[in-house]
Amino acid sequence: MEFEGKVLEILAPVSGQSARGTWERQTVVFEQPNKQYGKELAVTFMNKGQEVANLRVGESYLVSFDIESRNYQGRWYTDVRAWRVQPLQTQAQPPVQEMPPFMEEPQSVAGGAGVIDDMPF
């Protein structure tokens, strides 16, 4: 699944040791701007410290994720786990064409002689 969201907050990483080795988890809070009332979503990144380091608060991203639930001592816990995050491509504004420079008015010589007339006959 995917959603577009703006980074609101990047929480500190948490690490630990398991039977499979060292792990690191970091949570990033996104705001989904297209939702009514601005819905926030906390997304977990497992062992993706470099990807999280590239995220910037206030920037928008496309986040690919899976939802996982597990039972621990009779209680259910649900995680939203990101597996890919990409910056949103902002639409480039078309380049503004510069206007040609204004032509200066021809200068007339005192007494009317030597007036430049560029009008057709």
pTM: 0.68
Q: What is the CATH number of domain 2-87?
A: 2.40.50.140
| Adjacent-strand bridge partners of 97 | none
Measuring CA to CA, which residue among 38, 36, 100, 43 is closest to residue 67? 43
Query: 28-71: per-residue pLDDT in tens?
Result: 999 988 777 768 999 999 999 899 999 999 999 999 999 999 99
The residue extents of the domains of the chain are: 2-87
Q: Residue 21: how many CB atoms within 10 A of its CB?
A: 7
